[in-house]
Amino acid sequence: MSGKLRNYSNNVFIALSRLLNAILGGNPSLTLSARAGLNYRKGQWIQRRWLINRLFWLQQDHCEFAIRLDTDRNQQAIQAVAQDKAIKTQPL
């Protein structure tokens, strides 16, 4: 799979996971995997986390990895917005 196609498909899967998480009442800026990892830290979603980690068996702890990825992505987005001083909003 080429780099561009891999990047595109990865972005689509992330978007679908965030959409599913939002539909299920979660924060739309988190993937379902990150939500499972965060809830596991609170003593909840133990079986869901186990199931998600089994689906992504190539990673040692997919849900913990997803928390770090989502946090990094959100921080990068905030920095990009903060650094873009060219955006000017006009009052309605």
> What digits encode the pLDDT tens for the residues 27-55?
999 999 999 999 999 999 999 999 999 99
Q: Is residue 88 domain-resident?
A: no
- Count of structural domains, the chain: 1
Percent of the chain with pLDDT over 90: 68
Q: Is residue 71 domain-resident?
A: yes
Q: Is residue 75 domain-resident?
A: yes
The C-alpha atoms of residue 88 and residue 3 are separated, in whole angstroms, by: 34
Q: Is residue 89 domain-resident?
A: no
Q: Is the pLDDT of residue 88 over 70?
A: no
Range of the domain at 47: 3-82
Q: Is the pLDDT of residue 3 over 60?
A: yes
**Alpha helices per DSSP H over 24-61:** 32-41, 46-55
The C-alpha atoms of residue 36 and residue 42 are separated, in whole angstroms, by: 10
Q: Is residue 46 domain-resident?
A: yes
| pTM of the complete model | 0.81
Percent of the chain with pLDDT over 70: 90
Q: Is residue 91 domain-resident?
A: no
Q: Is residue 92 domain-resident?
A: no
Amino acid at 49: R
Q: Is residue 90 domain-resident?
A: no
